[in-house]
Structure 1
Amino acid sequence: MPVLGHTQYGKAEVRVVRIFRETDPHEIVDHNVSVALSGDFADTHLTGDNSKVLTTDAIKNTVNAFAKEAGDAVRTPELFGLALARHFTEVDQVSRVRVQVETYPWRRLEHAGVPHPHAFARDGGHVRTTTVTRSSAGQEWVVSGVRGLVVLKTTDSEFHTFYADRYTTLAPTTDRVMATEVTSQWWHATPPADFDAAHCAVVGAIASAFAGHHSLALQQTLYAMGTEVLAAEPGIGEIRFSLPNKHHFLLDLEPFGLKNPGEVFHADDRPYGLIEGTVRRDDEPDPGPAFDPGQGW
């Protein structure tokens, strides 16, 4: 006989923009919020009884209202996520809440060489990500992250002495372009006093390690980046990376009578190598639902 397994439901991708007009210059915060509830909701699946179901429309309305009610917490995605998670776990039939927040950066436009107080452009840089998980017993897990951080270096990268079988055609190299688009998540075993400062420190450590590490493989660079992050932020217990190889292939310009000493490349977006891994402190417990397998990397 079939039995019902784990279920969850909620509202996905609630886009909410908060403008702080009481400041001069104005400030803007742009979030994309997804909320998932787990708990005593079996009846709606098994019998169609919706008496315990908080509507997804109400979840959306709560996110929008909290953009005002949460005050300054909305400025920081981790604090905004915690405020929402704490609210939803007050519902009796909810045993666990997961709040995911993507935060999109904006920069001020300039007018006559001066930053304009009220005009902005969406920054094309990386997206800040946050996942807050809270149980009805009051346990909380906060995972911060970054997506779309594209980094490249023109040298100081090698790849050779790799295992070869009869299908291997890749030539070894002692000097190559190395580029990747960093997706990373880090678990705050001990939440910091300032999530914004911690986020900047982690992104800075990732960038610094990528730039300064003489790489023999992207896998080695992944470990170097994780090591530098853990050194920079002692409250982080674990960091995960997903690193696609952004391949740059040297073009053959000989048909045009031109030499190409590592100067002109074809940037190929697919297929690509995908390197994923975790760097964690050996004295930290397993992060549990902080890294729910359903979340992916």
Structure 2
Amino acid sequence: MSGDGGARRTVAFIGLGHMGGPMAANLAGAGHRVRGHDLVPEALAAAARAGVEPAGSAAGAVADADTVITMLPAGRHVLDLYDTLLPAARPGTLFVDCSTIDVADARTAHERAVAAGMRALDAPVSGGVVGAEAGTLTFMAGGGEAEFAGAGPLLDVMGGKAVHCGGPGAGQAAKICNNMILGVSMIAVSEAFVLGERLGLSHQALFDVASTASGQCWALSVNCPVPGPVPTSPANRDYRPGFAAALMAKDLGLAANAVKAGGVQAELGLRAAELYAEYAERVGAAEDFSGIVRTIREQGGECA
């Protein structure tokens, strides 16, 4: 990926929260004209300080844009907003939805955009707030080859990698499959550390072995759930989130819905969804998803 941003674009960016705000700021910093809107005044003000032009409404933001990027909490928000945005946009505008939503909702959004004379791409991300701020996100894209190529210069600025996964909804499918792997692996890594504690292993000793052996995975080597071995992991910041427990619970819920609808035998994925739903009900967006290690430790009879 080039990262040079290509020709200057006029981009409408709707949803300027913890993820969308830094993504929009990176586009503005690369020289693109970015008009942003968010329902939270503080988010809009922060984006404005980073070079994003504030728009008084979502419809106003998209009126003269050639690309519209959305980063919203759920599918219903995307579909409701498209009812407002599609009539306000110019024909042929490229709509890129970076939200993580249900595959069916992504396909519906694509169909509505195309029916309105627009082009569309679903492009959810992986990498969390750190990746959004650093411009190192991974984009998983679903839609046509031409749309993927058209979005490429912008994805280059916001991310380190973009993968065209297939037709409409394929980006969302890849995202929920990836996060099912992540959720299950974080639980497994957390359980292993708690077991190691009971067996007298230090965190560092277990990390030194597993990180260079067959237990190596992202949940261990980058987002290690215990303090010490990986200084940059949330465990060393009292589990202040990079990727909040509530977001993991949401993504695993989407994966569980797809598992059930597809008749897939996925016991670990379904159980991970249950565990994260219970965990997120208590901590919400206040803790990183790796903080589930403390729940595992507590349920075993030893307080964190």
TM-score class, shorter-chain normalisation, is under 0.3
TM score, norm. by length of structure 2? 0.26
TM score, norm. by length of structure 1? 0.27
Please identify which structure carries the higher strand content: 1
- Greater Rg, structure 1 or structure 2? 1
Please identify which structure carries the higher helix content: 2
